[in-house]
A and B are shown apart, each in its own frame.
Chain A
């Protein structure tokens, strides 16, 4: 099992470790529900160093990514990011990605941990005829997520002491974000805890948050500093309930090679008007015909949560019409939530469905995604 540069830190913090995609990662440090609430109300600290990071550089980098991926990366401005997907020629999703443009001819592709070697290989296959270089970027990845995360990051900056001294803690947050000049889905070079990093503002929890790309040597220093600034270590368990509440798809659950972006309700990320790209023919067909099943949100009133693989039934005929892809009791909302694929005719919010929860029929109602949306700041 591979260990991140923060493995010793996690062990010292008493983390419950789990194996995930070939890595030993913190599942939780104490209570996963408490960690979930911390991210919703303050700031949680995550080690995401297992995520795949692939650099694509070279004269043709932008047009290559336009061809290899579903989105149009060539129009992304330097310092900005785009959520996109690597699709099979059948249109099925091979991975969902965040791609940052670091320079005109330099992109950072962030892939799911389990898919990283495949993504790297597929990009290599598609690169024929393009002047690009595809390399694995090393280093560590630390995320701070939650409404207080800007404040936590802000107090890391070299000017933070003055900002707080002259403006008071209440305005430190606003001041520092301005000085960072980092919009949502932006990335910039920055210094955190005295270390040179790439600081991004993306996130996968439905909260404001930052990702810090740093060297392995600096990871523990940055982690400890953020912890001292008030961020609470949080593990993979709460990450799953957070992203589910935020309606964000997870590869292997909502996204698979059997589903296209259109099935997942993410058709808008496919730039159908590009001249040619991998999967274009299939994706244009699905876009024209409409997907046979669509991703929907379900809520149930009982206490037993629908889980991945549970059958969704038509309440009238009792027939199986779909399948749950993820489900859990929502810590924020206080009732079970789930995502499921059902035919479009059953997907309108308010539709009554039934889920077979291990042999018990639970009434479910279709709701619009996401289940949870943070209040505007």
Chain B
């Protein structure tokens, strides 16, 4: 369920282990939100700081902030989400990615096992 090749923040973002990392929210987070109806993402060229908010995800029920898992500069955002924000629910680790960031610093990130432990009901 939780892809082994990705890294995770405690705020339920995932990112790839690349110089230009792809960032999304986890299936666990997407599931908790319910049906996503709108996504507000940072603009290309914007600078993100790990742990700080850089966007919003709106579901029928509520609005949640998107936190950046790393410091860096946004180089691309997922334009497909403008027309089909539900991709975040249907394919959170694939077509539902949020943005790509040229990473300058990644603070604490979790591997899949540690993230699985974080979201397990016992924790």
Interface residues of A (CB under 8 A from B): 16, 27-28, 31-34, 36, 237-238, 240-241, 303-305, 307, 328-329, 331, 358
Residue ID in chain B nearest A329 by CB atoms: B37
Q: Distance (Å) between the CB of A172 and the closest chain B CB?
A: 33
Is B63's CB under 8 angstroms from A329's CB?
no
For B34, what are the chain A residues with a Cβ–Cβ distance below 8 Å? 16, 27-28, 31-32, 237
What is the CA–CA distance of A329 and B59 in the complex, to the nearest angstrom? 8
Interface residues of B (CB under 8 A from A): 31, 34-35, 37-38, 40, 56, 58-63, 89
Is B35's CB under 8 angstroms from A240's CB?
no
Assess A307 versus B63: contact at CB under 8 Å? Given A31-B89, A329-B58.
yes
- The 8 Å CB contact of A241, one of B40, B60, B89, is B60
- The 8 Å CB contact of A32, one of B40, B56, B60, B63, is B60
Is B63's CB under 8 angstroms from A358's CB?
yes
Is B61's CB under 8 angstroms from A328's CB?
yes
- The 8 Å CB contact of A16, one of B31, B37, B40, B59, is B31
For A31, what are the chain B residues with a Cβ–Cβ distance below 8 Å? 34-35, 89
What is the CA–CA distance of A329 and B40 in the complex, to the nearest angstrom? 15
For B40, what are the chain A residues with a Cβ–Cβ distance below 8 Å? 304
For A328, what are the chain B residues with a Cβ–Cβ distance below 8 Å? 60-61
Assess A240 versus B61: contact at CB under 8 Å? Given A16-B31, A31-B89.
yes
A-B contact list, 30 entries, CB within 8 Å: A16-B31, A16-B34, A27-B34, A28-B34, A31-B34, A31-B35, A31-B89, A32-B34, A32-B35, A32-B61, A33-B37, A34-B35, A237-B60, A237-B61, A238-B60, A240-B61, A241-B60, A303-B58, A304-B40, A304-B56, A304-B63, A305-B63, A307-B62, A328-B61, A329-B38, A329-B58, A329-B60, A331-B60, A358-B56, A358-B63
What is the CA–CA distance of A358 and B79 in the complex, to the nearest angstrom? 23
Q: Distance (Å) between the CB of B76 and the closest chain A CB?
A: 21
What is the CA–CA distance of A240 and B61 in the complex, to the nearest angstrom? 8
Tell me which of A28, A36, A307, A329 has the highest count of chain B C-beta atoms within 10 A of its own C-beta: A329
Other than A16-B31, A303-B37, A304-B58, give 12 A-B pairs with Cβ distance below 8 A: A32-B61, A33-B35, A33-B60, A237-B60, A237-B61, A304-B40, A304-B56, A304-B63, A305-B63, A307-B62, A331-B60, A358-B56
